[in-house]
Structure 1
Amino acid sequence: MDRIRLDKWLWAARFYKTRSLAVQEIGKGRVLVNEQPAKPARELTVGDLVSVRKDDPPLEVRVRELSGVRGPAVVARRLYEETPESMAARERAAELRRLAPEPALDIAAGRPTKRDRRRIDMLRGK
């Protein structure tokens, strides 16, 4: 096997739970092959660069092996190799998320009371 459909490979590599989900995400433009938009029937070869935008930042992987069969996660992990740039970007994003302040800390007293809403309305000129 020297070529395989993109949607089938994404399913076999366990990026998506079903092939139909892979097709939907490809159709939305969230999957790029060699930095270009692709269609589900696009044929992949070993060495292609696939960018999957499931999270932020996108995951960029290089195709190492081709398989049309969905196997265990250990086997699926051997189908691709993440690029060093992608790993560095994911680590930076994880560090930024870890250092970011908790959003709930901005809400000191919860929802505004009726009295607070009246004051807000007065400030806004209503």
Structure 2
Amino acid sequence: MMEEKEQIRIDKYLWAVRLFKTRSIAAEECKKGRVMIDGQPVKSSRVVKVGDIISVKSPPIVKQYKVLALAGNRMGAKLTPDFIKDVTPEEDLEFLRLTQIANKLNRPRGLGRPTKKERRDLDEFFDSGEDL
């Protein structure tokens, strides 16, 4: 863990705690206004302090994280709970789960990969045409 006196940019912190795959993606999200502290969009150069609540827009919800400690270097996934805590309200997480389930069930016919049944029907249709 780093001392609290050290200053860490928000884009570097979000990358270090594995919220974003690259630092440039984290900086881009800040630039687009999807990263906020205290409800205010922040620039990627904003300094993070212990105790800050970081909000990240991840449609259809806004996820919230509390800064527990500062980190400048990327860490393993097992270490992230020591540095950041997900404080997203439970009702938002439930809404996200329901939305994901609804999206899986509402695949329009003809889009995406065929289901097993659709595949069998297609195979049966094309195999029956060869006998003629």
Specify the TM-score bucket, using the shorter chain as the normaliser.
0.7 to 0.9
Q: C-alpha displacement at 1:40, in angstroms?
A: 0.9
Q: C-alpha displacement at 1:29, in angstroms?
A: 0.4
Question: 1:97 matched to which residue of 2?
Answer: 100
Question: 1:28 matched to which residue of 2?
Answer: 32
Structure 2: where are the runs of 5+ without partners? Answer: 112-132
TM-score, with structure 2 as normaliser: 0.70
Question: 2:121 matched to which residue of 1?
Answer: none
Q: C-alpha displacement at 1:103, in angstroms?
A: 3.6
Once the two structures are superposed, the pairs formed by residues 108-123 of structure 1 within 5 Å of their partners are none
1:66 aligned partner, one-letter code: L
Whole-Å Cα distance in 2 between the matches of residues 13 and 52 of structure 1?
13
Once the two structures are superposed, the pairs formed by residues 1-126 of structure 1 within 5 Å of their partners are 1-2=3-4, 3-85=7-89, 87-99=90-102, 101-104=105-108
Contact 2:65 2:88 in 1 (8 A): no
TM-score, with structure 1 as normaliser: 0.73
2:91 aligned partner, one-letter code: A
Alignment partner of 1:58: what SS? Answer: strand
Q: C-alpha displacement at 1:55, in angstroms?
A: 3.7
Contact 1:70 1:76 in 2 (8 A): no
Aligned pairs, number:
106
Q: C-alpha displacement at 1:99, in angstroms?
A: 4.5
Q: C-alpha displacement at 1:61, in angstroms?
A: 0.7
Structure 1: where are the runs of 5+ without partners? Answer: 108-126
Instruction: List, as ranges, runs of 4+ consecutive aligned residues in structure 1 with deviation greater than 3 Å.
Output: none
Alignment partner of 1:23: what SS? Answer: helix
